[in-house]
A and B are shown apart, each in its own frame.
Chain A
Amino acid sequence: AQRVTQPEKLLSVFKGAPVELKCNYSYSGSPELFWYVQYSRQRLQLLLRHISRESIKGFTADLNKGETSFHLKKPFAQEEDSAMYYCALGFGGSEKLVFGKGTKLTVNP
């Protein structure tokens, strides 16, 4: 079955420090991977998708099929990055996204 694992429930870093939010997936076919973010008192929104290979708000994520990972990285965290981050998996023939449990990132001043 398709599964997404985010091993860290909570992650706390200081402003200016690098941050990496881990995501591993389980799917034997060609996956589509996404990172969604939910800022405090805001709705869930798409941050980035692997197929775009873009940097959004300084965040990047690389799909590593060998390690079945899609970790989210930012070299210098900002306080406004504090939010809940969800990794999500899309897969062939299905309209649904499978979400991980999320990682709450706190960036301290």
Chain B
Amino acid sequence: EPEVTQTPSHQVTQMGQEVILRCVPISNHLYFYWYRQILGQKVEFLVSFYNNEISEKSEIFDDQFSVERPDGSNFTLKIRSTKLEDSAMYFCASSVDRNTGELFFGEGSRLTVL
């Protein structure tokens, strides 16, 4: 069964460093998402991406964040200058249809900012 894959599973970085989290969505899916979950908190929407552009973003997704689909298979989330409060589990998800609410999630990338 096809799955969303994410790398790395865990990344530790110093405050101020740039981080890129990678995701390979399911191949026939058209909608891509990033969510994050700070320890003990809710899973929060960051951004959705369709047709090679951002279709919706949350207030969390400020200028420090960017997303890209560089090669037709990978979907990346970049944090330019990490802060302590960026420490979280970051989930990539994809869906074939934006209206079903059925998101297929990856296993997550745990980011720890020191």
Contact = CB atoms under 8 A, between A and B. Distances in A.
Interface of A: 32, 34, 43-46, 49, 86, 88, 90, 94-102
Given A32-B101, A43-B107, A46-B103, A94 B56 contact: yes
Interface size class for chain B?
20 to 34
A43 B108 CA distance: 8
A12 B4 CA distance: 31
A43 B105 contact: yes
B56 A95 contact: yes
Contacts of A88: 101
Contacts, number: 47
Name the residue in A44, A86, A94, A100 with the highest tally of chain B Cβ atoms < 10 Å from its Cβ: A44
B75 interface: no
Given A96-B48, A99-B35, A102-B43, 13 more contacts: A43-B105, A43-B106, A44-B43, A44-B91, A44-B105, A45-B105, A46-B102, A94-B56, A96-B56, A96-B58, A97-B103, A99-B43, A101-B41
Contacts of A34: 101
Contacts of A46: 101-103
B105 A95 contact: no
Contacts of B43: 44, 86, 99, 102
B64 interface: no
Contacts of A90: 101
Contacts of A32: 101
B98 interface: yes
9 contacts: A34-B101, A44-B43, A45-B104, A95-B55, A96-B48, A96-B56, A98-B45, A99-B35, A99-B42
A55 B10 CA distance: 36
A48 B69 CA distance: 30
B18 interface: no
B90 interface: no
A100 B48 contact: no
